[in-house]
Structure 1
Amino acid sequence: MPRARQHAFRRAVRWWRYLREAALSAGQQKNDALLPRLMRVQEALGELQNRAVTIALLSRLKLSASKAEFLGTLVRQQRLCQAEVQQTLKELAQVRFRPVTKA
């Protein structure tokens, strides 16, 4: 997924999370199956975005051998972040949650 779409998706997840938090009482939030997964997806997407921006900035610079090695490490970490995002999205897709209803 292109970086711009990933960022937009992260913003949508954040919006969904904030709506869910606003709709649930504190007690409901503690027992909600969806909310912690939304938080994990948002965090994983944030880490992925941070690494993507850092890699893009470093790629524009003339790098010494040690800095190039660091860039390679970041790229490998980004792949791990992508795998984590995929895993958290799979977990999110499996959540059976009840819509918020007010009595």
Structure 2
Amino acid sequence: MTQNSTVSEASRLSEELLEEIEMGKSTLTLIAMKASRLARLMGDSDTQEILMYEANGYPHKNGAQNQEMWRLAGIAGRTFLKKMRKGRRGTTAILTQSSSSKWK
């Protein structure tokens, strides 16, 4: 795809997304997936991944996320400080998979 056609496609997609958000024409899952595509067209791989995870859930193995998931969760604003035992503070995140009904 040439740069001109990429910009044109990104512009069209952003107008479409704005209309769908403002008019309530689509589910949040579909909006997140389209926004992920827009991020890809704009070369923003972090936002692209974050939006796909927001739509489909953050991957985990045996209940634990890897360092990259923590980094992306921080960018997405999903991490926060929490008081732990004995007055300590630690970082935690909410990274559960979103169900379709939650995103509608």
* Bucket of the pairwise TM-score, normalised by the shorter protein: 0.3 to 0.5
What TM-score comes out, normalization by structure 2 length?
A: 0.38
Structure number with the higher helix fraction is 1
Higher relative contact order (CA 8 A, sep 6+): 1
Query: In proportion to residue count, which structure has more strand?
Result: 2
